[in-house]
A and B are shown apart, each in its own frame.
Chain A
Amino acid sequence: MNVEKILYDMLSYSAPIILCVLGGNFAHCANVLNIALEGMMLAGAFISVLVVLLTGNVLLGVLAAVIATFVLGLIFSFFGITRRGNVIITGLAINLLAASVSAFILKAMSLPNLNANSVANVAGMKIHIPVVESIPFVGEVVSGHPLLTYVAFLGIAVMSVVMYRTRFGVYVRVVGENEDAARSVGIKVDAIKYAAVLIGAVCCALAGANMALEKMALFTNGMTAGIGFIAIAAIFCGRGRPGTTSVYAIAFGLAQSLAINLNLSAGPASGLFNTIPYFMIIGILTAVSIVQHKNNRVRGLIDG
């Protein structure tokens, strides 16, 4: 069991979750339930690899992914916010559409998956930090990640500032806590909600690009495997606070890292380790809920 590798993988697997979480926090704080993070991430993964395959330009790929998820975010916001639709169903639809459209395009192109390794250099996308990489243990864990992984971790600080020190962040929280109060002082509630969803969409694009393009230059159907939902669980556990939710994201990344690394040393039943993250999330969600509601004396529906 290589501890450095486990920690390296932890940072690696956490990054896309953190990116989803940082974006998704805003919708959560604005009281818009966005379960489409999964679909948006998948779309980001698909488009980034597809565009790189077609153009050879990594930057263009990421940009295209951002545009694509931005459009998905607009669709979600239009149906869910402007037209006051059921956001759970809208989110579900976006997830289904992302999965089916990408599968459809792959089939239409007669490809089993997208492999951009011929055009993009995955190894080249890893950044080796000059001095840090020579530090024993720490160097192997921290250095050698692709750009967006570092962006994810830096993003924790950036998003915290945005959430608590800027007007936008205050308005997002006010809209979520008391929409009436926001309206009474002239805050444009719908615009704030749109912006919150769109930030989430863009961050999901980056998460998808990080997962598919940067790490493997590969896209396979359904490769996000629930990471978007794991991010939602982290957002619930951390109640929309950038710092806390990121800690949960890292915990889930650790679970995934352990699952993969334990798999390698296990036999045919190795698939069972893959279930660890999922059960762990259920466990943590339950624990967090118990703590949150420990003083609840009200009968009836417990507001999760």
Chain B
Amino acid sequence: MKRRARRGSSLFGLGIANSLIPVVSAFVIGAIIIAVVGENPWTTYQFMLGQTLFDASGFVKTLHYATPLILTGLAIAVTFKANIFNMGVEGQVLSGAFAAGVVGFTLKGLPAPVHITVCLLVAIAVGMLVALVPAVLKAYFGVNEIVVTLMLNYAIVEILRVLAQTVFRDPTSGYVSTPSVAPSATFTRLFGTSLTLFTPLALVVFVAMYVLFKRSRLGYEITAMGINPGFAEASGMDVRRKIMTIMLISGALSGLAGAGFMLSEKFKYTLDFSGNPGLGWDGMLVALLGGHDPVGIVVAAVLYAALKTGADSISIFSDVPKEITGVIQGLIILLLSIRYFTRTSVVARRRAPTRKSSEEPVRAAQS
């Protein structure tokens, strides 16, 4: 729908500016921290981003790592836009990944496309199931979803740890891990690079979500709900059912992200599966940085994946701990919590009536 006044090029520019300031500031502060540790910030950043963005194979690797982040970013955005704060993406990702892993190593003798599809579908179902709990509690009982999803995250991590240590333990491994998934359940690498079919799959999902956000009825309802739930309900949008729908979509996306990551990169569930801070929290940053807009999320996912993989290699070559990513992530999110530029209120002048006296001059409200 045409929203020229709101989504015009000037507003898009506004969105970029609003995201740019936090990123630049966070990098400046990060530079200070790096200097304190005793390294040169400039060469550090050069190395981090040079390897991952400006080098062909590095960039492909970055895309590979960005793929689950695109999905978790979308998972967050679809809920945050409706003013639902699904903090449980991390738990949903892990659940989906674990389920995919279990289906991956228990089922044998299936042709690869079928096996992968089954794994993904199971993971999506599990992710949706996990998201169902806070969804129902919020929609029908009014329970605050922030606390419920956070508690579930902790609970899920514990449950999965126990499962990986007992029922689904890999006895041959020296550390806590599930058995590796069967070869028929892995995404094969394309053209000898790090990329797999998971990436194009994620892009297909991205396109679907783009259409959903921008052109679908549900997208319109999500936007309305996020701004004014009273209006949404009065316009027949059945807010409670929408909460369920939105959370289920979010859970599905998260489950898919976890499964894809499992089947294209990790192949088994370990206690540090999701990395530090975790795919869910990375997704939160990506969604916020991208302004909850699908295109923005893709861009932010690629940039953030570059940062993260760059930081991994940094810690090998220098004294800068890779935890610097977490710090920069926290700083960016902090700075993203406020708007730096807002659409200035459109104000009309008082005009002397030149038309019929029954007409009234156009006026604007203070925004």
Contact = CB atoms under 8 A, between A and B. Distances in A.
Verify whether A and B have any Cβ pair under 8 Å. Answer: yes
Contacts, number: 162
A281 B277 contact: no
A79 B155 contact: no
24 contacts: A86-B337, A87-B337, A89-B333, A92-B333, A93-B337, A94-B330, A97-B331, A103-B276, A104-B321, A104-B323, A104-B327, A108-B319, A271-B165, A278-B154, A278-B155, A282-B151, A296-B142, A299-B240, A300-B229, A300-B239, A300-B240, A301-B240, A304-B138, A304-B144
Interface string B305-334: 000000000000001011111110111011
B148 A236 contact: no
B216 interface: no
Contacts of A292: 142
Contact of A286 (B141, B281, B329): B141
Contacts of B165: 268, 271
A89 B95 CA distance: 24
Contact of B148 (A107, A285, A301): A285
A279 B33 CA distance: 39
Nearest to B134: A282
B233 A299 contact: yes
Interface string B280-323: 01001000100000000000000000000000000000010111
Contact of A293 (B142, B151, B276): B142
A91 B84 CA distance: 16
Contacts of A55: none
B146 interface: yes
Interface stretch (B1-9, B63-71, B156-164, B184-192): B156-164
Contacts of A274: 158
Contact of A100 (B152, B229, B284, B327): B327
B352 interface: no
Interface stretch (A18-26, A148-156, A226-234): A226-234
Contacts of A285: 137, 143-144, 147-148
Nearest to A237: B147
Contact of A79 (B137, B143, B337): B337
Contacts of B240: 299-301
A3 interface: no
Given A104-B326, A282-B148, A285-B147, A275 B334 contact: no
Given A272-B158, A300-B229, A93 B333 contact: yes
B147 A269 contact: no
A162 interface: no
A103 B326 contact: yes
Interface in A58-104: 75, 79-80, 83-90, 92-94, 96-97, 99-101, 103-104
A185 interface: no
B137 A282 contact: yes
Nearest to A33: B146
A271 B159 CA distance: 7
A104 B330 CA distance: 12
A123 interface: no
Interface in A193-239: 225-226, 229-230, 232-233, 236
A35 B240 CA distance: 24
B270 to A, nearest CB: 16
A214 B101 CA distance: 42
B85 interface: yes
Instruction: Name the interface size band of chain A.
Output: 35 or more
Given A88-B85, A89-B288, A275-B155, A96 B326 contact: yes
Contacts of B147: 229, 232-233, 236, 281-282, 285
Given A275-B158, A289-B141, A304-B144, A83 B229 contact: no
A76 B269 CA distance: 36
B141 A94 contact: no
B89 to A, nearest CB: 12
B330 A93 contact: yes
Given A79-B337, A97-B331, A97-B334, A282 B162 contact: no
Contact of B144 (A80, A89, A230, A236): A236
A93 B162 contact: no
B142 A300 contact: no
Interface in A38-64: none
B37 interface: yes
B37 to A, nearest CB: 6
Contacts of B362: none
Nearest to A39: B330
A233 B323 CA distance: 30
Nearest to B142: A302
A278 B151 CA distance: 5
Nearest first, the 10 closest Cβ-Cβ pairs linking A and B are A100-B326, A302-B142, A300-B233, A107-B321, A97-B330, A93-B334, A85-B338, A85-B337, A96-B330, A89-B337
B113 interface: no
A79 B155 CA distance: 31
A226 B154 contact: yes
A290 B133 CA distance: 15
Contacts of A80: 337
A78 B276 CA distance: 28
Most chain A beta-carbon neighbours within 10 Å: one of B152, B165, B323: B323
